[in-house]
Amino acid sequence: MSPRTLLAFGDSNTHGTLPMAAFGEIARLGRETRWTGHLARALAPAWQVIEEGQPGRTTVHDDPIEGPHRNGLSLLPALLESHRPLDLVLVMLGTNDLKARFSVTPTDIALSLEKLVAVIRASAAGPGGRAPAVLLVAPPPIAETGCLAGIFTGGAAKSRDLGAAVGAAARRAGVAFVDAAAHVAVSPTDGIHYEAEGHARLGAALAAAVSEHFP
């Protein structure tokens, strides 16, 4: 029997970007160390995990500084088509929406994630032309510290309400939900990205959620 397919759709923390000690510093954890690698090992051989993490990716916003290609809503339909058939799409976005340049609330971010869920459900990207299932993951609260603090000014306070807002959106949409704050915290180095041990904990927690909700 062929394994089921899971698309992990996220931002730099799905990409595995390391905490930044200096602005513009770009480094990535190895494939086996990223949370997606832990997830893939825990779910094998029943599932195949496709990584689709892009640094700077937003939910629905064209980034006026980093470019419109960071807009998750714009990219999602093409990714659903290119990777189909997909049994499950795991969505973990919202951290980059907390940048001061976007001026959105936790409720706005949750509604934006609901829009992404609607796109997935309207697609024919699942087996037999059906829609894939969805697992919505709220990112953990951020901290305004280190070299990225100025970009995320005001975001830390908003982020503390994000888990509840995204959880409410998941209930409205009727999809599975995980609050990553219960399993991982951001690094004190830059307040945004996760250390290797955080990736391990998150990968294990998400594997448990997939096994529970999609046995």
All structural domains of the chain, each given as residue ranges with its CATH number in brackets, are 4-213 (3.40.50.1110)
pLDDT category, 26, cuts 50, 70, 90?
A: confident
- In this prediction, residue 74 carries a pLDDT of 98
pLDDT at 1 over 80: no
Per the listing, tokens 């704050």 go with 181
Per the CB < 8 A criterion, the answer to whether 50 and 9 are in contact is: no
Q: Tens of pLDDT along 184-195?
A: 999 999 999 999
17 forms beta bridges with: 28
pLDDT at 208 over 90: yes
Per the listing, tokens 């907390």 go with 98
Q: Backbone phi, then psi, for 200, in 5-degree steps?
A: -65, -45
pLDDT category, 127, cuts 50, 70, 90?
A: very high
Give this prediction's pTM: 0.97
Q: Tens of pLDDT along 80-95?
A: 999 999 999 999 999 9
